[in-house]
A and B are shown apart, each in its own frame.
Chain A
């Protein structure tokens, strides 16, 4: 890490704003792409095409090109490109739809809950470190920020992991409050299920994150990633592999994803906790789920897959001294995140939904004792090394 120069108050504030905007931009680029990928990957896995068009495929330049390719007997490559406008269409639809508030709903809480859910999931990224140290330094000719480093993280706090776990568990308040404020039976059931499920899975999730904490002896995000990637003894590798599986399983339950999506089980509860929501408020819940997915995969790739330090297949040893790709690289980190997001979708296309009692049994009967053993083993490895 470079020695950071002394910053003025204005520079600090500006940098904070710029970095926050960059991270939020990153989220709001990767989340729609995940939604797009979900439709495409599931479509391919089920022998169909997925989203291919938004509307009006006869008119315009793309329509003309596509028709030409179809005439030649080929599936047009633009049809893949054309699935993408569906994101814009979906978001426009969510914004333009009527925003209904039930008459007997608790209005204030009903309106605040989706925002709470969304904000809780976005704020977590304040402590996520995409790259240790400065990504680049602003050149001298930039007016105020000349010579100021642009870090690969927003803040580098000493209790980063605690912050993340604390904020991430606030997200369930949005779901439970929104469900309760709807003043309707199905949302209430969905919200209660979500509450119970997230409270259950918070325990093995945190316990499985204790494995890297015990191995490294710190809660600082950067330090943990670096120590796990470079300084942990190879004895810990099987432990970390198992810990990764447990953490990822709990991540599915935390984000209400497919095998554990009890709060939205549409064949039992109409739509689950967001039955009464419509328009962009529903969109907030929807986005929050996907941002939570990104959070879970970000943490998993940082703590279990080597973060920005390790390239897959031990490649980092050979390309250490190369420019651009050598050394820690934010692209590897993001690449691992994207891989894990793919696994989220892959699992959705594979494993059917569990029954509710099975969901709870997995957490309390298997994962919690299992992770407790893991933590003890991690302490043993720490002691041995």
Chain B
């Protein structure tokens, strides 16, 4: 009898309708209020996205207080990189005891963002920053290098240059 009634009366459908209906009403009534945020989505292009502090974005090379590149070309990052995307060529510079990279190529299209390079760096000269707009217009643009390359490690990505979230 009970099974027959269950067949006759679509209880499950009404339960589902109630669930989605109340959820819709909740979201709809709090849609325009900042305090109670029901939407999962972000207003991304207009509002900068809040990333987790440990988010791994694009590789960036750091400079010290004098504006000198910190990297000393110990090749630790190049050796530890599991996908072997880092290529370093070292050179000499007047008035600097250590070596300085003349070429630091980072082929981002194969990078897996494991952060081994950052961990292995004994001089804190590279980090993965919070830039996540990594798109580029050409395949060549994915190889990030130092100054002179279309993507260098000191500036924004080609897409990031036009991003609203990096304004202000």
Contact = CB atoms under 8 A, between A and B. Distances in A.
A74 B43 CA distance: 10
Contact of B16 (A47, A75, A350, A366): A350
A29 interface: no
B17 A350 contact: yes
B107 to A, nearest CB: 33
Contacts, number: 54
A78 to B, nearest CB: 11
Contact of A45 (B7, B13, B24): B24
Interface in A287-331: none
B40 A48 contact: yes
Nearest to B47: A70
Nearest to A48: B41
A67 interface: yes
A225 interface: no
B31 interface: yes
Contacts of A366: 7
A366 B7 CA distance: 9
Interface string A61-76: 0000011001001110
B135 to A, nearest CB: 19
Contact of A346 (B8, B17, B31, B34): B17
B17 A47 contact: no
Interface residues of A, number: 23
Interface residues of B, number: 24
A49 interface: yes
Contacts of B45: 57
Interface string B40-70: 1101011100000000000000000000000
Between A44, A73, A79, the greatest number of chain B beta carbons within 10 A of the residue's beta carbon is seen for A44
Interface string B18-33: 0111011001100110
B17 A347 contact: yes
Contacts of B39: 44, 47-49
A75 B32 contact: yes
B32 A45 contact: no
A366 B40 CA distance: 40
B108 interface: no
A349 B23 CA distance: 11
Given A44-B28, A47-B40, A74 B34 contact: yes
B43 A346 contact: no
B10 to A, nearest CB: 8
Contact of A70 (B16, B38, B46): B46
Given A44-B28, A57-B46, A346 B40 contact: no
Given A45-B27, A47-B40, A49-B41, A351 B13 contact: yes
Contacts of B20: 45, 346, 349-350
Contacts of B43: 49, 70, 75, 79
Contacts of B47: 70
A150 to B, nearest CB: 36
B23 A45 contact: yes
Contacts of B7: 366
B139 to A, nearest CB: 28
Interface string A156-175: 00000000000000000000
Given A44-B24, A79-B43, A346-B21, 11 more contacts: A44-B27, A44-B28, A45-B23, A48-B39, A48-B40, A57-B45, A66-B46, A75-B31, A350-B19, A366-B7, A370-B8
21 contacts: A41-B24, A44-B27, A45-B20, A45-B24, A47-B38, A47-B40, A47-B41, A48-B40, A70-B43, A70-B46, A70-B47, A73-B34, A74-B32, A74-B34, A75-B32, A75-B34, A346-B20, A346-B24, A350-B16, A351-B13, A370-B8
Interface of A: 41, 44-45, 47-49, 57-58, 66-67, 70, 73-75, 77, 79, 346-347, 349-351, 366, 370
